């Protein structure tokens, strides 16, 4: 039994004394111990070495009273497993030498046996669970098929992903085939994570907000919902779509356990769009962690009051930024842990 199951209670919609708290990208670049490993090992070496991934996962847990851990990995391990050779380039980010831009390329992509191609992730889960020793739940994650497609077609990060969008609109048959292959791989990947012992999974749709509401239904949500349908009988599924407030009503009709929201929507409106029935996660602006600890505490208290303590998971509205002072990250977490109703 997990000793601190506050996160799981929130996912189940149970009454809690306070909201649980964790931070997207909490195992990462704002921590000096993370930077020490970053200086010794390149990015995908850290992802692909189970001992390193497990160590990085628990680094923030040693520092802060977090209610959940999230496995250190990357969304691009899925396309790598499919034979799409992503690299991480200094000062550039994700880089694909030959982007996927034709039907012929898409047809050559295989849906792999994840047990073979992603075994290092499953080994990292086993090692992490040993380190956590049932103290708190472990979250597994994957990128949404649309977000993975964006990187595969663009070949790198982008502000607007115009090339990826153009590919979908000009070659919808190829786009849907690629999206389905990514979806099938992701379902197998997340199912295996559940078998290995994660307590919940989160789907990150980082670039869903690039699409119109109509195109979001066609090129993103349709595939995310396949993942939700496949995983929801097995575990809690959380979906976070950055910039996707317009899809919250539709998402609420699915079998998700919780929906993440970013900082561009008011808590009250998010509650209205989700019919006051959904566990919500978010939505503190990551840049606001540059405020003073006193301001952060005040804003966190206001955020909790506005969302309400039940059916709520305190988190950022996106990943923590690398330049955030440790005391400010701690102020955010402790403000939630110490929260008391007025």
The answer to whether 219 is a known ligand-binding residue is: no
- pLDDT tens, 237-252? 999 999 999 999 999 9
- Max CA separation in the chain (angstroms): 61
pLDDT band at 215 (very low <50, low <70, confident <90, very high): very high
Domain boundaries, the chain: 6-337
Nearest to 54 by CA among 68, 72, 69: 72
Average pLDDT over residues 119-145: 98
Residue 151 bears catalytic tag? yes
Q: Calculate what percentage of the chain has a pLDDT beyond 70.
A: 100
What 8-state DSSP symbol labels residue 93?
E
Answer yes or no: is 53 a known binding residue.
no
For the chain, the average pLDDT equals 98
Concerning whether 74 is annotated as a catalytic residue, the answer is yes
Cα dist from 99 to 79, 84, 151, 184, 274, whole Å: 12, 9, 8, 20, 37
Distance between CA atoms of 20 and 42, rounded to whole angstroms?
Answer: 32
144 is in an annotated binding site: no
Q: Are 16 and 6 in contact (CB under 8 A)?
A: yes
Q: CA-CA distance, 298 to 291, in Å (whole number)?
A: 11
Q: How far apart are CA 49 and CA 79, in angstroms?
A: 18
307 labelled ligand-binding: no
Adjacency order of strands within the sheet including 258-260: 69-70, 138-143, 200-205, 236-241, 258-260, 279-284, 312-316
Neighbours of 258 (CB within 10 A): 25
Whose structure tokens read 């992503």?
A: 86
DSSP 76: T
What whole-number distance in Å separates Cα of residue 324 and Cα of residue 329?
7
Q: Which residues contact 98 (CB under 8 A, 6 or more apart)?
A: 85, 105, 155
Two tokens, residue 76: 């691009």
pLDDT band at 94 (very low <50, low <70, confident <90, very high): very high
202 labelled as ligand-binding? no
Count of other CB atoms within 10 angstroms of residue 305:
13
Percent of the chain whose predicted confidence (pLDDT) is above 90? 99
- Has residue 91 got a pLDDT over 90? no
Helix 119-132 and helix 172-196, axial crossing angle in degrees, nearest 10: 40
The residue among 249, 180, 191 whose CA lies nearest residue 220 is: 180
Q: Do 197 and 132 meet the contact criterion of CB atoms below 8 Å apart?
A: no
Is residue 62 annotated as a catalytic residue, yes or no?
Answer: no
Burial class (CB in 10 A: 0-12, 13-18, 19+), 12: middle
Within 10 angstroms of residue 49's Cβ, the number of other Cβ atoms is 17
Q: What is the pLDDT of residues 164-183, one digit of tens each?
A: 999 999 999 999 999 999 99
Closest CA to 308 of 334, 272, 332, 333: 272
Question: Which one of 12, 29, 63, 306 is the catalytic residue?
Answer: 29
Rounded to two decimals, the pTM is 0.98
Told to judge if 285 belongs to the known catalytic residues of this protein, a careful annotator would answer: no
Q: How many residues does the chain have?
A: 342
Which is the catalytic residue, given 5, 67, 74, 262? 74
Confidence (pLDDT) at 90: 85
**Cβ contact 289:329 at 8 Å:** yes
Determine whether the annotation assigns residue 151 to a binding site.
yes
Marked catalytic residue, from 5, 46, 67, 151: 151
Mean pLDDT value of segment 277-287? 98
* Composition of the chain by helix, strand, coil, percent to 5: 50, 15, 35
pLDDT of residue 124: 98
pLDDT of 342 over the 90 cut: no
**Topology adopted by domain 6-337:** TIM Barrel (3.20.20)
Has 205 been annotated as catalytic?
Answer: no
Which helix (H) or strand (E) segment holds residue 187: the answer is helix 172-196
Closest-CA residue to 48 (of 151, 122, 156)? 122
Residue 150 has pLDDT above 90, yes or no: yes
Q: Are 286 and 320 in contact (CB under 8 A)?
A: yes
């Amino acid at each position: 039994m997990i000793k601190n199951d506050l996160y799981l209670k929130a996912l189940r919609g149970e009454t809690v004394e306070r909201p649980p708290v964790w931070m997207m990208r909490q195992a990462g670049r704002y921590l000096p111990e993370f930077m020490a490993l970053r200086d010794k090992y390149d990015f995908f070496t850290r992802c692909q070495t189970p001992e390193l991934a497990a160590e990085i996962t628990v680094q923030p847990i040693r520092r802060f009273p977090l209610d959940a851990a999230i496995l250190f990995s990357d969304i691009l391990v899925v396309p790598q497993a499919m034979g799409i050779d992503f690299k991480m380039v200094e000062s550039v980010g994700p880089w694909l030498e030959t982007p996927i831009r034709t039907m012929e390329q898409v047809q050559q992509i295989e849906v792999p046996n994840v047990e073979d191609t992603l075994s290092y992730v499953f080994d990292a889960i086993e090692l992490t669970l040993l380190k956590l020793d049932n103290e708190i739940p472990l979250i597994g994650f994957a990128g949404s098929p649309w977000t993975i497609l964006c990187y595969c077609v663009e070949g790198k990060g982008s502000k607007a992903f115009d090339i990826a969008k153009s590919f979908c609109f000009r070659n919808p048959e190829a786009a849907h085939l690629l999206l389905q292959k990514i979806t099938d791989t992701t379902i197998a990947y997340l199912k295996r994570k559940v078998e290995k012992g994660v307590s919940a999974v989160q789907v990150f749709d980082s670039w869903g907000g690039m699409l119109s509401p109509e195109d979001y239904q066609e090129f993103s949500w349709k595939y995310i919902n396949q993942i939700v349908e496949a995983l929801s009988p097995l575990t809690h599924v959380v979906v976070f779509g950055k910039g996707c407030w317009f899809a919250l009503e539709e998402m609420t009709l699915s079998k998700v356990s919780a929906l993440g929201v970013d900082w561009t929507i008011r808590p009250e409106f998010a509650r209205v769009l989700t019919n006051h029935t959904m566990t919500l996660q978010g939505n503190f602006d990551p840049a606001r962690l540059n405020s003073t600890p006193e301001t952060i505490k005040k804003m966190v208290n206001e955020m909790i009051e506005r969302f309400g303590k039940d059916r709520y998971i305190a988190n950022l509205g996106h990943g923590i930024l690398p330049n955030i002072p440790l005391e400010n990250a701690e102020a955010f977490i402790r403000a939630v842990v110490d929260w008391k109703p007025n």
